Structure 1
């Protein structure tokens, strides 16, 4: 079964913080960098990455060692990452972490910690090597920045995407919550998002890379939509259980296990847990503080209509139609 752990382990790639800082500063200086979001972004291999994380993310493709039985949860930011982590962890570990157990890890630890991000704080590459197989991991990186062995070894990947207008509005709110340099205007954020300049963007390239991978490896790459989770979470739980290699038994179906998972991992249930209401992590040398509570806003489909003008929505729709034309991926 997947690992059960709750601690965040800091990166051990260097014993000298100043050396690491200088190296990343050198990298940023050599590549296109833009301000505008809560932290500066640097363009690497056609993907915008947070500048303070550039070195760690660049190292993933060369130094992360996938295993054939790895399960990777991949998302573009603000597309239901926390929800997917909670669902996958609960489903995959249910044989030894009963959902009615008062000591279940998700009752005391945020989903962001129990499923570590590849290459990020809490999921540095040395630490990932210590985890037993099969590993349940996560990433915001596009497929092009992961090692080719993810595909050649047949690693299973669950990709969750979200309607771009809702993803953008959620991103805008999130960036304004975590940044300490003042709020980002909606129109400025919208322009950058449409230009492809957002963390792990352009969003269309991110979606398309995993969409094409799901077509090439349909038995090993499960492509989901956030809207599916909202409209039919029971079916998604069953689909995930089967894909993860731990399908629900008839006894579990009769016992309502799928309903139990949906209830346990619901947006309101997760948001109201103490582990997700208190605490957080500091980033970018103290310029950003991510409160765990900021990972839960509304989770509603169509909330973009409460923020974006008709003109903005039409522009985004035209962009999406153009970028995904001919791919078979539609919104």
Structure 2
């Protein structure tokens, strides 16, 4: 099922047939307009199931690979742009920003997602992963426990970005409402309550929020050379320090000359949400058939959830977060009393 080389139509039909048969045997739910299946502990949207299976079965990691892991809507596009620019910053200066790939390609085209792009047989251009220059940059929404064995046993590095669950949900809500609107569905408070409940009880794409965060956080503590755990809010609050930390982790540290030459500040500006939103490539077109480029860039603000979530909803999030607290996890850059900040 791997998208390593073009497939003939018969082989692809067989694969699709196998997936359809598998779907019949799996527990299912809906996530906005999308069917969702429970496969080996993961809630997989219909269009990701084949990619998940192929990724876990076929991917062979290289020691030099760098993988960005995250839940959806936690700053993935932003981190892809930062990571890509850090690794490929040779010759970067304000004088040649017009030549940067971001002017012609969305970040999701430069750092491909395993389960939705690399191993998606429906995409026209299949990949030969052996031809991608080192270090290869990839992304995944898969939980740590479900990653291929080769990723865990190789020396490849994992960068994980976490965002507070309140803003994560609100960003998810706005993202998927685009599809609801296309089906003529008008959102209301009852509908939001339904999806808050699904999110907080773990009936949402991939793994329950608290488990997803906790597994990567534990790996970063136990094996800091393998996994780097970053907070979205920290990147917003202290971008320069976080970029230096990220560059060091992926083996591309900034030189003293670069720091004096404001290269870090230039990368921060180039990869800002404001800058990415203003690029023409992100105002139109689609990365893959179902997602418009502009859908990936909304506000990027911290605390926007206070404009949407009710006190009852916030209480559900607080209950969900108890598991993280009991494990010793706390948000280093997002300290707040959520109950006091929820709208009436």
Deviations 1:163-185 (A, max 9, x none): 01110111111011144333552
Runs of 4+ with >6 A deviation: none
Which residue pairs with 2:79 in the alignment?
A: 84
How has the CA–CA distance of structure 1 residues 220 and 292 changed in structure 2, closer, same or farther, with 3 Å as cutoff?
Answer: same
In structure 1, the partner of 2:303 is 302
What's the CA shift for 1:282? Answer: 5.2
Distance 1:88 1:281, change over 3 A: closer
- Contact 2:112-2:138 within 8 A present in 1 as well: yes
Secondary structure, counterpart of 2:224 in structure 1 = coil
- The verdict on how the C-alpha distance between 1:170 and 1:139 changes in structure 2, with shifts beyond 3 A counting, is same
SS in structure 2 opposite 1:247? coil
- The correspondence for 1:196, drawn from 191, 198, 202, is 202
Deviations 1:142-193 (A, max 9, x none): 1222112212112101000100111011111101114433355211111111
- Deviations, residues 35-63 of structure 1 (Å, cap 9, x unaligned): 24231111112111112221221121121
| Counterparts of 2:210 and 2:60, CA distance in 1 | 27
* Unmatched 5+ stretches in structure 2: 121-125, 332-344
Counterpart of 1:62 (choices 11, 33, 57) is: 57
CA separation of 1:183 and 1:199: change in aligned 2, threshold 3 A? farther
Contact 1:24 / 1:52 at 8 angstroms: preserved in 2? no
The equivalent residue for 1:15 is 9
Distance (Å, rounded) in 2 between the aligned partners of 1:100 and 1:90: 15
Aligned mates of 1:25, 1:281 — CA distance in 2: 25
| 2:138 partner SS | strand
Q: 1:152: which partner in 2?
A: 153
Stretch of structure 1 that moved more, 307-316 or 20-29: 20-29
- Bigger mean CA deviation after superposition, 197-206 or 178-187: 178-187
Q: What stretches of structure 1 of length at least 5 have no aligned partner?
A: 1-8, 284-288
Aligned to 1:324: 324
- How far the C-alpha of 1:211 sits from its partner, in A, is 1.0
> Which structure 2 residues correspond to residues 115-154 of structure 1 after superposition, within 5 A?
115-122=111-118, 126-154=127-155
Once residues 13 and 310 of structure 1 are traced to their aligned partners in structure 2, the CA distance between those partners, rounded to angstroms, is 52
RMSD: 2.0
Structure ranking higher in helix proportion: 2
Name the stretch that deviates more: 227-236 or 71-80: 227-236
Q: Deviations over 1:116-148 (max 9, x none)?
A: 111322565853333122211111111222112
